[in-house]
Structure 1
Amino acid sequence: MSQSFFIQFGASLAAVAALVALAAWAKIAKPMTPLTDERARTLLEQEFPGRRLERIWVAVDGRGALAKSGAAALVLCEVGDGYVARHIPWGQAVASSFRDGVLRLDLSDVAAPLARLALLNWPPSPEPRAA
């Protein structure tokens, strides 16, 4: 092996080490804080201004939320290091698959095709009507 091979190998090794150190220093893979009711409400109001939120369900693990707004279901789900907001018909949300404590919502979107929310129970019980 020639001296130029060792120089190139050493330079490549140093470059890879520098990139790994930069990624560790930047904390690219930092964990997100779980959603709370207040934070979910704030994010949904920012994404859907003017919509009245009737009720909000935050996932048990804090990685998503679902809100009822008239005939629409507003969905927040964690993607990468942020949240994505989508809306689907409320009837579709109520009819979605709920197994083993996980609600699977088909969002029919290339960027976020499926939302998985860990909820205690689903569908929600109807709220009592005022007399």
Structure 2
Amino acid sequence: MDKAYLIQLAASTAAVSVLVGLAAWAKIARPVGPLNLARAQDILAEEFPGRSLDQVWVATDGAGALARSGGMALVLCRVGDGFAARQIPWAQAVSSSFRNGRLRIDLSDISAPVATISLPSWPPKDLAA
């Protein structure tokens, strides 16, 4: 081993150590806590400003939410270390498949193709037309 190789190895080790330290300090890839009603409403208000929420259903596992806003459904689903917010027609949300306590909503979006929301039942019994 020559001197240049050892210098390059030391510099590479130092650079990787700095990047690992920076990632740990920035807490990159931290886990996202579960949604509750207030947090879901805050995220929906931020993502869809000016939209009034008629009713909000939060997943039992906190991994998503569904809200009705007039004739539209506002969907929150966990993607990576955050939540994706999408808007679909309300009729599509009501007619989505519900099996084994999971509502599966086809979003037809390449970055969030399907939203899976755990709910006790769907459609809700108190659903106003």
1:104 alignment counterpart: 104
Aligned residues: CA RMSD: 2.1
| Count of equivalent residues | 129
Matches within 5 A, 1:44-123: 44-123=44-123
2:23 alignment counterpart: 23
Deviation sequence 1:47-93 (CA, Å, 0-9, x none): 32333322111011212110112221111122334332211111111
1:43 alignment counterpart: 43
1:13 alignment partner AA = T
1:85 alignment partner AA = A
Give structure 2 stretches of 5+ with no counterpart: none
- The 1:127/1:115 distance shift into structure 2, 3 A limit, reads closer
Runs of 4+ in 1 over 6 A off after TM superposition: none
TM-score (ref. length: structure 2): 0.83
Most deviating of 16-25 and 50-59? 50-59
